Amino acid sequence: MKPFDRPWTLPAALALLLVAGGLLGQATGGRPSLGVAIVAVLEVVALLTRSRHLSLAMMPTPPANPLQHDRFMTRSLRLASSLHDLRTAAGSLPDAVVLLDNEQRVRWFNHAAESLLGLRRPHDRGAVLSDKLQGSTLAEWLDGETHEPLNDLAAPGKPDSHLNVTLLPFGRAQRLLLARDISHLTRLEQIRRDFVANVSHELRTPLTVIHGYLELLDPEDVPELAPVLGEMRAQSKRMGQIVEDLLTLSRLETQDHISDERVPMAALLATLRREAEALSQGRHRIVLESTAEADLLGSPKDLHSALSNLVSNAVRYTPSGGAITIRWRREAGGAVYEVADTGYGIPSSHLVRLTERFYRVSSSRSRESGGTGLGLSIVKHVLNLHQARLTIESAPGVGSTFACHFGRDRLLDPATGGGEEI
């Protein structure tokens, strides 16, 4: 049994026990409560750890009255046993848990931290965690300014495992590092990706054959089947487009970087405008405002595909007579490519889900206009690969603005001498 170093430690530990006990009960349900419960449990563990070398003389004096003395001893034993259980429970959590002091020194860690992070007992106690993990992405992250959760990180102590790492502040500038082993999720995600890529690939050839034969059939030879033939051609073309978009998405998902080539923006913007005019067929007013005077650094093909997707959406979701403005302008920290339309607009409740695969505000409108429901997913992936982000502003009946924000690192002074149109 470990003694307590200060008279207030006993009630504090008891209070924490209650909090921890209650929260641990919920822990299996929700992750945030697990984090709080772990903090509570570890506070207790830390109290015990700190008091390791202190003597029994420092315990609150037991009451002299024999009855009160017995009650006091029973309570103390029960508390010690509960603390022991909590310590064992925290120690055997499947996620790595490391308790850090205000100087990022390791105060305590559990068994999973040994296998996943490579920490060793007893000599890593008291070590600065980022020094211990030197050279790893985790160490860089710990030394960094911001501590947004890190996802899909190779475990320093077990390179085949993937981690999700969070740093939770608590107490007086202390931190709790939680590293969840997400290897099984990563594997499932990989299986899903492979499945989609394989199915799309397998469908490609039969669809090309069907499409080819449909093209060979002349509706004039069988006038009674002309409407059916027309519909079959349109549908096989749509399926072909879905397969191509799925293959593009699979490729983008498996890539973690893109080619760094100059993308001449004057030429690209001229191409995008021409594409908008061709798609609109004179039904909209197309305006180009280019003031950024900068080229982009990235993949010309993927950027063209993403930026033209936004133009094509603006044309498809804006009724005749509307206006579409394509803008390329500077903003604080970089430059932004915007496509603003005066179209149908999108209710705000849909905005957060718009970049999900196959998510549509109106399925019928999307299908009628030849959409696959994958365009904005592709845009998001391409932008991620360029460390850029997409913002969407929209109001039903007023219109929408889709904006791609590129950081300064992605901008180049425009090449002299114009350049070829992309």
How many other C-beta atoms are found inside a 10 Å radius of the C-beta of residue 82? 16
Nearest to 391 by CA among 361, 344, 346, 343: 346
Residue 200 in contact with ligand ADP, rule: CB under 6 A: no
**How far apart (Å, rounded) are the C-alpha atoms in residues 336 and 258?**
20
Residue 334 in contact with ligand ADP, rule: CB under 6 A: no
Q: Which CB atom, from 33 or from 384, has the smaller least distance to ligand ADP?
A: 384
Among 4, 337, 344, 406, binds ligand ADP (CB under 6 A): 344
- Residue-by-residue DSSP string for 5-30: SSTTHHHHHHHHHHHHHHHHHHHTT-
Residue 371 in contact with ligand ADP, rule: CB under 6 A: yes
Residue 17 in contact with ligand ADP, rule: CB under 6 A: no
Minimum distance, C-beta of residue 341 to ligand ADP, in the bound complex (Å): 5
Residue 384 in contact with ligand ADP, rule: CB under 6 A: no
Q: Which CB atom, from 129 or from 390, has the smaller least distance to ligand ADP?
A: 390
Residue 337 in contact with ligand ADP, rule: CB under 6 A: no
Minimum distance, C-beta of residue 422 to ligand ADP, in the bound complex (Å): 21
Among 372, 386, 388, 411, binds ligand ADP (CB under 6 A): 372
Q: Tell me the backbone φ, ψ of residue 139, rounded to 5 degrees.
A: -65, -45
- Residue-by-residue DSSP string for 282-337: TSSEEEEEE----EEEE-HHHHHHHHHHHHHHHHHTS-TT-EEEEEEEEETTEEEE
Among 375, 381, 385, 390, binds ligand ADP (CB under 6 A): 375
DSSP 128: B
Place of tokens 């009451």: 63
Nearest to 321 by CA among 269, 286, 279: 286
From 66-74, 160-168, 337-345, 408-416, give the range in contact with ligand ADP by CB under 6 A.
Answer: 337-345
Q: Which CB atom, from 170 or from 359, has the smaller least distance to ligand ADP?
A: 359
Q: Which CB atom, from 115 or from 355, has the smaller least distance to ligand ADP?
A: 355
Residue 366 in contact with ligand ADP, rule: CB under 6 A: yes
Residue 360 in contact with ligand ADP, rule: CB under 6 A: yes
Burial of 13 (0-12, 13-18, 19+ CB in 10 A): buried
For strand 96-100 and strand 174-181, is the pairing parallel, antiparallel, or unpaired?
Answer: antiparallel
Residue 362 in contact with ligand ADP, rule: CB under 6 A: yes
Site size for ligand ADP (CB under 6 A)? 20
From 69-77, 118-126, 342-350, 383-391, give the range in contact with ligand ADP by CB under 6 A.
Answer: 342-350
Q: Tell me the backbone φ, ψ of residue 108, rounded to 5 degrees.
A: -160, 150
Residue 280 in contact with ligand ADP, rule: CB under 6 A: no
Residues 6+ apart with CB under 8 A from 61: none
Minimum distance, C-beta of residue 280 to ligand ADP, in the bound complex (Å): 13
Q: Which CB atom, from 35 or from 375, has the smaller least distance to ligand ADP?
A: 375
How many other C-beta atoms are found inside a 10 Å radius of the C-beta of residue 68? 11
Half-sphere exposure of 413 (CA within 13 A, CB side): 2
Among 48, 153, 376, 385, binds ligand ADP (CB under 6 A): 376
Q: Which of residues 284-323 bind ligand ADP (CB under 6 A)?
A: 313-314, 317
Angle among Cα 163, 167, 171 to the nearest 5 degrees reads 150
Q: Which CB atom, from 186 or from 362, has the smaller least distance to ligand ADP?
A: 362
Q: Which of residues 157-196 bind ligand ADP (CB under 6 A)?
A: none
Q: How far is CA 387 from CA 83, 174, 216, 403, 411, in A?
A: 47, 32, 45, 14, 12
Q: Can you give the binding site for ligand ADP, defined by CB under 6 A?
A: 313-314, 317, 341, 343-344, 346, 354, 359-362, 366, 371-376, 400
